[in-house]
Amino acid sequence: MFRGVGGAEISSLTYCKSVLFRRIGTPEQPAARRCPSLPARRPKSAAARSRRRTAKHRDAETTCRDILDVSEELLAAEGLTGVTLDAVATRVGITRQGVLHHYGSREGLLAALRTHLTDHMHKAFLEALRELPSESRSARDLAHLAWSVHDRYASIGRISAHLALVGQLKPEDVTAPWIQDLAVSLQESSGAARGEEALFAALAGTMVAMTEVLFGPLFYRCAGLPATADVRDRFRSWTIDHLMDGIDGER
């Protein structure tokens, strides 16, 4: 037995009910009063939501940049076969699924890497062109310059060939902006309106350079020539001399 208000004796059951009802209310009270809800969360401001989206976007950009940088390193060290989803994910510090989230497949990653390298090659060519002395801007000098830059980014041709073989090279993805830049430079060096000839020469030179890259030593061996640096240099000089004949106006 317990004593309630005023000292009256009440049963233990009645006492427990009185305590319980004081805490949560009686059955006749509205549910909202018996089970009060937590205060509603204040909606985030537009600025806060914008900051959150910006942070997520920035993180995604950083991850994509890291993936492409690591892929480029693997390509340089191990060749095209070394650029695998697992290898890239391990070096970046994310899961394989994380790479797939951004690029969809290995071919999607290679296509993005090709675009990435193409942009770098274009910038490298323009930078080398700016640093070339005015007295060294003959058509032959420009062609040699373009070929040397192409050597540094020879992997673009290998990636393009792979994507073409698996049917993943879209026509709109095939860009080579340095060809037009080279053609314009050749036209300017000639001092004459040889726009089409300069473009043809730049295009033909790029085709030869890419074929040499794709076949490697076999490019020379198929003609019965030794795949030596001397043969390569003489072939390039011969090709450039014939392509640029008439643009320089000299032999």
Q: Does residue 162 sit in the same domain as residue 251?
A: yes
Say yes or no to pLDDT of 227 above 50: yes
Separation CA 182–CA 240 (nearest Å): 13
Q: Both 132 and 244 in a single domain?
A: yes
Same domain assignment for residues 241 and 132:
yes
CATH number at residue 100: 1.10.10
Residue 185 main-chain phi, psi, to 5 deg: -65, -40
pLDDT band of residue 194 (cuts 50, 70, 90) is low
Q: Are residues 209 and 164 in the same domain?
A: yes
> Does 221 lie in the same domain as 140?
yes
What is the pTM for the complete model shown? 0.66
Range in 113-122, 220-229, 239-248 the model is least confident about? 239-248
> Is residue 157 over pLDDT 70?
yes
Assigned domain for 129 exists: yes
- Do 136 and 238 have their domain in common? yes
Q: Domain for residue 40, yes or no?
A: no
The answer to whether residue 43 sits within a structural domain is: no
- Together in a domain, 189 and 86: no
Tell me: do 82 and 141 sit in the same domain. Answer: no
Average pLDDT over residues 150-155: 85
Residue 206: per-residue pLDDT? 82
Q: What is 8-36 written as a DSSP string?
A: -EE-HHHHHHHHHHHHH--TTS-HHHHSP
Cα four-point dihedral sign 59, 60, 61, 62: positive
pLDDT above 70 (res 29): no
In this structure, the answer to whether residues 71 and 147 fall within a common structural domain is no
Kindly state whether residues 128 and 247 are assigned to the same domain. yes
Residue 167, amino acid? G
Give the DSSP letter of residue 175.
-
Q: How many domains does the chain have?
A: 2
Q: Give how far Cα 220 sits from Cα of 15, 65, 203, 213, Å.
A: 103, 37, 21, 11
> Are residues 226 and 119 both part of a single domain?
yes
End residue of a domain, out of 70, 104, 138: 104
Q: Which domain holds residue 84?
A: 55-104
